[in-house]
């Protein structure tokens, strides 16, 4: 897969990414599998992975300011 911004080959890696779910609420998902560009650091999340992220975020108590989850859990 190539980067949609700069065209460089992307690598499939596990990384930690923050998702903002409410004005004051952020969820950090650890070990999330994403495609990342080695040149410009742009990343791409596959549809199947994004769906699981949506499921994880849907179960978060939005009163918590910061929540840390593991994708693989």
Summarize as ranges the residues that interact with Zn ion (CB under 5 A).
Answer: 3, 5-6, 8, 37, 39-40, 42
Least distance (Å) from Zn ion to the CB of residue 36? 9
Q: What CA–CA distance (Å, rounded) separates 60 from 32?
A: 17
Q: Which is nearer to Zn ion, 35 or 71 (CB)?
A: 35
Q: Which is nearer to Zn ion, 13 or 72 (CB)?
A: 13
Q: What CA–CA distance (Å, rounded) separates 34 from 50?
A: 10
Least distance (Å) from Zn ion to the CB of residue 14? 19
Q: What CA–CA distance (Å, rounded) separates 43 from 8?
A: 12
Least distance (Å) from Zn ion to the CB of residue 15? 15
Q: Tell me the sheet residues that pair with 36.
A: 11, 43
């Amino acid at each position: 897969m190539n980067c949609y911004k700069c065209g460089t080959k992307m690598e499939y890696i596990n990384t930690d990414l923050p998702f903002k779910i409410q004005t004051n609420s952020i969820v950090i998902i650890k070990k999330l599998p994403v495609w990342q560009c080695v040149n410009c650091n742009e990343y791409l999340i596959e549809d199947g992975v994004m769906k699981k992220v949506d499921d994880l975020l849907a179960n978060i108590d939005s009163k918590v300011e910061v929540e840390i989850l593991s994708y693989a859990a």
